[in-house]
């Protein structure tokens, strides 16, 4: 009798699990009520989650706490961040304009212009990536050995976050 109750309970739990997994997934970007989410306004990037997500592993305050940064290091880090932001403002504006050019070319059906704009956009993204790497190097230069070791771990985590699911 006891075995029968356990078997029936396990079977019910299995059926519930299968039913939950078999539910159709809402389209990407859909709300639970089924309405599509509107994207961010043109020229603005929305938050990204999951594989390929952008952004830091830790927000600045948490990073400072994790690395145990001194007040002087925090001030230096802010200065590096601000100068990088100012230096790359033009590049960000070029990326926004390029994104709009790709969109317009696609909407107008001009495949050649769209392809050329996409290639140009890839070059701009490479420049932005190089600027981020330069900023990371400048930040790492203000760290001591223990902090550099912790920062290296965070960089590995960030690389793993940016990998696509099928990349090795």
Confidence of residue 119 (pLDDT cuts 50, 70, 90): very high
The closest of 143, 34, 8, 135 to 81, measured between CA atoms, is 135
3-class DSSP assignment, residue 107: helix
Query: For 40-94, how does the pLDDT look when each residue is reduced to its tens digit (9 = 90+)?
Result: 444 444 444 444 445 666 788 888 888 889 999 999 989 998 888 888 899 999 9
Query: For 31-41, how does the pLDDT look when each residue is reduced to its tens digit (9 = 90+)?
Result: 555 554 444 44
Q: Is the pTM of this model over 0.75?
A: no
As given in the structure block, the two tokens for residue 104 are 């317009």
């Amino acid at each position: 009798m006891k075995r029968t109750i356990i078997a029936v309970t396990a079977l019910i739990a299995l059926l519930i699990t299968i039913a939950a997994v078999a539910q159709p997934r809402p389209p990407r970007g859909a709300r639970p009520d089924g309405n599509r989410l509107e994207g961010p306004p043109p020229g603005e990037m929305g938050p990204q989650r999951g594989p390929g997500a952008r952004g830091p592993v830790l927000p600045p305050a948490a990073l400072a706490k994790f690395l145990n940064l001194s007040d002087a290091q925090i001030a230096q880090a802010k200065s590096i961040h601000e100068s990088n932001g100012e230096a790359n403002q033009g590049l960000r504006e070029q990326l926004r304009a390029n994104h709009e050019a790709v969109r317009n070319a696609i909407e107008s059906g001009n495949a050649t212009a769209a392809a050329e704009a996409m290639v140009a956009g890839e070059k701009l993204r490479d420049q932005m990536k190089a600027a981020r790497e330069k900023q990371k190097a400048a930040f790492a230069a203000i760290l001591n050995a223990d902090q550099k070791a912790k920062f290296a771990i965070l960089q590995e985590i960030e690389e793993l976050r940016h990998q696509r699911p099928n990349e090795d």
